[in-house]
A and B are shown apart, each in its own frame.
Chain A
Amino acid sequence: KNEVEQSPQNLTAQEGEFITINCSYSVGISALHWLQQHPGGGIVSLFMLSSGKKKHGRLIATINIQEKHSSLHITASHPRDSAVYICAVRFGYDGGSQGNLIFGKGTKLSVKP
């Protein structure tokens, strides 16, 4: 069974703290996405990774293909970072066609001022 596990489920931090959210998956993937969902419900894509590391502002995403693990880091966290962060993976299939999209259950982050 293709599974995506996120940890922690809930995270409370003080403003300025360094935050790490983890995502593990069970089989080979073609791409991993980090998504952000705000209380209003809209979802935006933060990163798409198939290897290595990406950085955008205070956000950093890394992926280790061998260990089947990805992390999302937030440096100098701010209350406006409060949201649910979701890891989603596309599992790879033989023959080059891309698999379906499986979501983690999300990590609810609350950053206190």
Chain B
Amino acid sequence: GAGVSQSPRYKVTKRGQDVALRCDPISGHVSLYWYRQALGQGPEFLTYFNYEAQQDKSGLPNDRFSAERPEGSISTLTIQRTEQRDSAMYRCASSLWSAGELFFGEGSRLTVL
């Protein structure tokens, strides 16, 4: 597509529910990054992929968080058994190659009640 697309843009869920956030990067982009941003804070790295391979998941807060990119294009970030502290803006970025310019999606705002 023309840009990085994320869905849903807004998600409100109850504590304990699972959520899946989707990122559709720019076509042909090799690298895909997930990060999150709490209100008033800087972005926090979560994980990234080159093609379908997850290169680094050290930023995932705990084992309730997981991400996949099975065909090297669209990626899904899944949060199981959500907690209120998971509320944040979850953003995705992609780049043509692993050290290339970054292009950011508009983000998915998650609110856990």
* Bound: A88/B47 CA distance, A: 14
In the complex, whether B62 has a CB less than 8 A from a CB of chain A is: no
In this complex, the interface size class of chain A, counting residues with CB under 8 Å from chain B, is 20 to 34
Question: Chain B at the A interface: mostly helix, strand, loop or mixed?
Answer: strand
Q: Are B99 and A100 in contact (CB under 8 A)?
A: no
B33 and A101 contacting across the interface, CB-CB below 8 Å: yes
Hey, what's the 0/1 contact readout for B86-98 against A, CB within 8 Å counting as 1? 0001010100001
Interface size class of B (residues with CB under 8 A): 20 to 34
Task: Give the A-B pair count, Cβ closer than 8 A.
Answer: 61
* A 21-55 contacts with B by CB, 8 A: 30-31, 33, 35, 41-45, 48, 50
B99 touches A101 (CB 8 A): no
**Distance between B70 CB and nearest chain A CB, rounded to angstroms:** 21
Looking at the complex, which one of B43, B47, B98 makes contact with A98 (CB distance below 8 Å)? B98
CA distance A104 to B41 in the complex (A): 10
7 A-B pairs with the lowest CB-CB distances in the bound complex, closest first: A105-B42, A98-B98, A100-B56, A43-B104, A103-B43, A106-B42, A31-B99
User: Which B residues contact A (CB, under 8 angstroms)?
Assistant: 31, 33, 35, 41-45, 47-48, 50, 55-56, 58-59, 89, 91, 93, 98-104, 106-107
Given contacts A45-B101, A88-B102, A105-B41, 5 further A-B pairs with CB under 8 A are A35-B102, A41-B107, A86-B43, A100-B55, A105-B42
